[in-house]
Amino acid sequence: MKVSYLHGLESPNHGPKVDWLNDKFDTYVPKMDYYSETAFEEALDGCRGSSLIIGSSMGGYFAYLIGQHLRIPTLLFNPAVVGRSFDPVVQLSNRNGTKNTVYLGKNDNVIKGSKIRKYFSNEGVGSFKYNTYDGEHRVPDAVFISAISETLKIKESRVHSFESFHNSLNEYSIPYSIGFKKRPDFKHGLVKEFFKFFYMEGDQPIGNYMDMAEVVHDRYAGELDKDIQKVGDIAQEIHDYLKPPGGKSPAYDLNDMHQDGAAEVVFSYMDQANELAKKVYDGAARGGAAKEKKIIQGLKGLEATLKRARNIFTSSFGSIKHRKIGFRFSKDK
């Protein structure tokens, strides 16, 4: 699924919000120069094929207009349809109605929400759904993520822990420098790459695995749950080597891994697993009978990849106590 995001006038095209988008979707997140006369045309071309165009402030103004041109739904955070510091070069012709979801900060002193509503009421093209959040013009990461998840119907259970996950990871200490001495850029690489795939938040996993598991479960009415479970059980074993149950300190020092360059090898397996999980997610989201075989093949590939990663841990530290994850799908709660 492709999602486009146009940042605000003085904002960058990187940071936690963009990291989350890049982790969940195929993205178009350009560095915008709104003063350029070609900025609008370039953004319009880049947004083609998107399922959703997201924009904040000046980016919200662009997203609104581009969504009309391309007939693509938009998600607009405090869009600068009024109160702009200058008027960039845009196309105002050939506009079509589309679905616009608008989020307004209750304490926004840069662009008043009431003025945005009035503009859309008088001059807006398409349909508009309004939401408010406690905050100012800058959109909190949690609001940003929750809004996208709601708009795209991503299960809340998969995203509500985004900030707490990163906080936990930043506070979590684990020795895993093996193989990294010549690659200082690999610091935290193995652990973060795995936790992107599978991380236990309480008694529920989050990450790319659960994203994939949810959509496969929903698309195929539980028929592939056993295959999903096999992948999850192996991921659970690897997780418990890195972060044992109860948040205890890890019992294993990754410096003691027997295989030369073991950390890099596991990292490469987890990179493969994350990419494969995204492909399975996309395939299941598109659906169709012809896709089911490919979904099964993808799950088998994930199982094999994770087994290879797990076996590196097992060969060095022995088998870990096996426990099934026993997760709940959102609709089963």
Per the CB < 8 A criterion, the answer to whether 74 and 102 are in contact is no
Alpha carbon 312 to chain centroid distance?
A: 28
Q: Which domains does the chain carry?
A: 2-151 (3.40.50.1820), 156-332 (no CATH)
Q: What share of the chain is helix, strand, coil (3-state, %, to 5)?
A: 50, 10, 40
pLDDT, tens only, 213-231:
888 887 887 789 899 999 9
Whether the model clears a pTM of 0.75, i.e. scores above it, the answer is: no
Pairing mode, strands 99-105 and 127-133: parallel
> Tens digit of pLDDT for each residue in 161-198?
455 555 555 554 444 443 344 444 444 567 777 888 88
Note the pLDDT of residue 43. 96
